[in-house]
Amino acid sequence: MAVARLDTWVLSGNSGFSPTPMTRSGNQGFGWIHIINQRIPKNIVGDIEGLEDAWDDLLASKREVCKERIFELAKNFRVLPGKWMFWVSPGGKGDHFWSLIAKGVASGKTLATHAKMSALEENTSHVVCIYNDNFLDEEEVYESERTIRSLGIKCSLHYKPDVFTYLGVYGMNPWGIRPTIYTSHFDILKNQSIIRKRDEHLDA
């Protein structure tokens, strides 16, 4: 999709294509709004079934479940995508942020392979996810963050490997593992990001 056409697609709220009218309610509801960077070949996610089987074996073995073992599984089964995420209120602000992200992804101004924004549920915010290929490549993760900031996104960002989602490891989990491994806060006065690695355990 050309960027000129994308402007109309993203910003034409009356036609129903901006995030504001998109909801999850009813039979006609939407789950996510997607945009793909066709300039970047998107790596095929690896062996999800093998990953899940190995995860079941790990749990059955009673061995310690930790971030390092999960990352080893991700590497072995080539499940390496991750995403920077942020939350934004619905309405004009959400539409504006999505227009920045969508045009940035489509035009190749970001390192993102694709991005998505959740449709609205009652009394909730949108979550926006901007993906890159390899969460184990720290340089790639940092560069992805930099290109997101270059679009004018200044809010706090959190980075989560997809392997945690596939394995059902969320914020409240019995192993105390943090599924977000980086945070980024933008210092307006210094005009720069501060990226920090998260401690592995929720109680750290």
The domains of the chain, with CATH numbers, are 37-197 (3.30.760.10)
Q: Is the dihedral of CA 165, 167, 168, 174 positive or negative?
A: negative
pTM for the whole structure:
0.84
φ and ψ at residue 123, rounded to 5 degrees: 60, 35
pLDDT single digits (tens) 39-84: 766 667 799 999 999 999 999 998 999 999 999 999 999 999 999 9
Ordered strands of the 192-197 beta sheet: 32-36, 114-118, 126-132, 82-88, 157-161, 182-187, 192-197
pLDDT single digits (tens) 163-189: 999 999 998 999 999 999 999 999 999
Bridge partner residues of 129 (DSSP):
85, 116
